[in-house]
Amino acid sequence: MTSCELVEALIDDNALSEDFDRLNLWEEFEDWDWSSLLSAQPQFVDKCDEYNGWENLHSYTWRSLLSKQPQFADKCDEYKGWEKFDSNDWYDLLKSQPKFIGRAKIYLRGWLAILRTNPELALEFDKWNEFDARYWIYLLFVHPQFVDKCDEYGGWKKFDSSNWSYLLKFQPQFADKCDKWNEFDYYDWIKLLSVHPQFVDKCDEYKGWKKFASKDWRDLLSKQPQFADKCTKYKGWKKFASWSWIDLLSAQPQFADRCDEYKGWETIDPSDWSYLLSLQPQFADRCKEWRWFNSLDWSYLLYAQPQFADKCSDKMYDKFSQKVWSELEATHPNVFEEKHMLSNHRKLAKD
């Protein structure tokens, strides 16, 4: 049994603790096991003491335990568990146990959680200048009204391009505060334009398009196909490899003409064809690689698109496992039974 299964058994039947003692099964417990057990059966606290279970608790296991059994706060004090908490741990704990707000005030990370859950307590906070960019993002994400504090305490100066693209993705109204546009890399632009295409002028102004590789164009066009003209202007189509075409056409099949123009079909591998046709079967007439499909390619395709059953050769059908046949027949009744029967006959004839 795994340690998790041992805990579940003990929770269901406390009498098993004697067997745990006899077999020394307590030694098998990990941090999550102790948290799960004590959350349900706090009377086993002595065992956690005896086997030093507290030493190994991480922030998320402390948080989970205290959410259900707040009386163990003194143990968290003793074993310095609070120091392991990040702002999200505090945030989750305070939602279930607001009584810990006093302890949270001891830590900067705790204060961030307090401001996220109780913004009215901002008047008590006096460490704004200690917030780094990440903290400001977490706060402004849920409470954009703290923008004045970010102005007052120079928070924007701590932002790099990645911080800005993340914040603007969720709070685009802060664009006028951004002074790092020229530092945006391809990832920043993709992250932002995929959600807020209105920033196209910024990408033009700061020559962001020149930083795109084929996968970047693929990711952007899959979500915002209106930027196809930008891909043409900056010769992005020529950079497309097999998987870039597959992913794009799977999401935006209207780009088939671009794939024609740039001979993208010729770059697609057989296994990639199987994936594409499973999602966009209308491209079957473009595929010239049927003979290179292996049994895995065929089983994957036929499971999604049984209309291609007659394209699969007897040789490939004979390589299907019983599991594959069972799945095909269960998913598509009255389609593959005859194929399966003929395959069995061929195998018997060979024997």
User: 128-175: per-residue pLDDT in tens?
Assistant: 999 999 999 999 999 999 999 999 999 999 999 999 999 999 999 999
pLDDT at residue number 349: 86
- CA neighbor of 328 nearest in space, from 300, 349, 351: 300
User: 221-273: per-residue pLDDT in tens?
Assistant: 999 999 999 999 999 999 899 999 999 999 999 999 999 999 999 999 988 99
User: 283-330: per-residue pLDDT in tens?
Assistant: 999 999 999 999 999 999 999 999 999 999 999 999 999 999 999 999
User: 325-340: per-residue pLDDT in tens?
Assistant: 999 999 999 999 999 9
Q: What is the pTM of this model?
A: 0.82
pLDDT confidence band for 98 (50 / 70 / 90): very high
pLDDT at residue number 350: 82
Output the average pLDDT for the chain.
96
User: CA-based Rg of the chain, rounded to a whole angstrom?
Assistant: 29
What Cα–Cα distance (Å) separates residue 122 from each residue in 89, 117, 125, 235?
20, 11, 5, 51
> How much is the average pLDDT of 79-93?
97
Q: Which amino acid is at 270?
A: P
| Residue labelled with tokens 């057990």 | 37
Buried b (16+ CB within 10 A) or exposed e, 225-258: eebbebbeebebbebbbbbbbbbbbbbbeebbeb
| Whether the predicted pLDDT of 100 surpasses 80 | yes
Q: Do 81 and 58 form a contact (C-beta atoms < 8 A)?
A: no
| Whether the predicted pLDDT of 125 surpasses 80 | yes
Q: Report d(CA 194, CA 200) in Å as an integer.
A: 10
